[in-house]
């Protein structure tokens, strides 16, 4: 029962994630430097927020070629759970583990605030046991969170019930108010909001806890 948190040059939420998974939830957690290929002994991997490789070229474009991510593709094939938060979501789309892309926010601003989200699917273990439309509040902090994909991809996401979370009041222009999606198999979740920043009542909410809890519960 161990969680790995990938550390790229430029990641800045890696320690927050560890604080949440280990400090708040009590799961053994270890950091994975981007050059490692060794994911043995891990039940779940988190790709944290930040600016991997300076977000050069496009967010996540360089990170995609990191050795750790080549191992991650096999890890996902074998059913390992992967959570991509913010920059981690961007990396997952660049890597092709999730469809679509994240682009500049509609109004060009970097937005840092709490947002209300609605559960759009409870098909996967990430949001199992919740009601469709159930609301939760999580912080966002991004400049490039506008989810875009082709019409065919959107239809496929809808048909396969893979849109996990939607914004109640769309802050960034995302297509169909999408805040988070899963793969069809359900073991990969990418989302722009930061569940790790909502795990302790002292800092304003614990709505992120159940999402991180799902890293271990199956």
Partner 1 sequence: MPNFQASVLVSLRPSVLDPAGEAARSAANRLGVEGIKSLRIGKAISLELDAPDEAEARRRVELLADRLLANPVIEDWSLELECLPK
Positions touching partner 1 (CB under 8 A) are 57-58, 61, 65, 93-94, 99-101, 103-108, 146, 148-150, 173
Contact between 180 and 192 (Cβ < 8 Å): yes
Identify the active-site residue in 34, 142, 144, 196. Answer: 196
146 catalytic? Reply is no
DSSP 89: H
**Within a 10 A sphere around the Cβ of 57, how many other Cβ atoms?**
10
Identify the active-site residue in 13, 34, 59, 86. Answer: 86
Residue among 64 and 209 whose Cβ is closer to partner 1: 64
Residue among 140 and 211 whose Cβ is closer to partner 1: 140
Smallest distance, Å, CB 149 to partner 1?
A: 7
Residue among 104 and 130 whose Cβ is closer to partner 1: 104
Please state, in angstroms and rounded to a whole number, the distance separating the CA atoms of residues 71 and 140: 28
Residue 110 burial class via C-beta count within 10 angstroms: exposed 0-12, middle 13-18, buried 19 and up: exposed
Give residue for tokens 């875009």: 148
Residue among 137 and 153 whose Cβ is closer to partner 1: 153
Give the closest residue to 120 by CA, choosing from 135, 109, 107, 108: 135
Give residue for tokens 């560890």: 18
Give residue for tokens 């359900």: 186
Smallest distance, Å, CB 61 to partner 1?
A: 7
Smallest distance, Å, CB 148 to partner 1?
A: 6
Smallest distance, Å, CB 143 to partner 1?
A: 11
Residue 22 burial class via C-beta count within 10 angstroms: exposed 0-12, middle 13-18, buried 19 and up: middle
13 catalytic? Reply is no
59 catalytic? Reply is no
Please state, in angstroms and rounded to a whole number, the distance separating the CA atoms of residues 85 and 139: 11
Residue among 106 and 122 whose Cβ is closer to partner 1: 106
Smallest distance, Å, CB 207 to partner 1?
A: 29
Identify the active-site residue in 59, 94, 194, 199. Answer: 194
Catalytic machinery residues:
86, 194, 196
């Amino acid at each position: 029962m161990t969680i790995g948190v990938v550390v790229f040059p430029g990641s800045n939420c890696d320690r927050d994630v560890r604080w949440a998974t280990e400090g708040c939830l009590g799961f053994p957690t270890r950091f994975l430097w981007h050059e490692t290929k060794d994911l043995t002994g891990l039940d779940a991997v988190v790709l944290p927020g930040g600016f991997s490789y300076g977000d050069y070229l496009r967010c996540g474009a360089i990170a995609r070629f990191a050795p750790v991510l080549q191992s991650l593709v096999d890890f996902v094939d074998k059913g390992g759970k992967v959570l991509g938060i913010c920059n981690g979501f961007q990396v997952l789309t660049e890597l092709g583990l999730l469809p679509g892309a994240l682009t500049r926010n509609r109004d060009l601003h970097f937005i840092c605030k709490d947002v209300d989200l609605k559960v759009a699917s409870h098909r996967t273990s990430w949001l199992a046991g919740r009601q469709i439309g159930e609301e939760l509040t999580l912080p966002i902090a991004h400049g490039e969170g506008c989810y875009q994909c082709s019409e065919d991809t959107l239809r496929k996401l809808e048909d396969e019930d893979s849109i996990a979370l939607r914004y109640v009041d769309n802050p960034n222009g995302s297509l169909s108010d999408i805040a988070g999606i899963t793969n069809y198999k359900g073991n990969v979740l990418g989302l722009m909001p930061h569940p790790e920043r909502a795990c302790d009542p002292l800092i304003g909410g614990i709505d992120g806890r159940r999402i991180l809890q799902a890293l271990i519960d199956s």
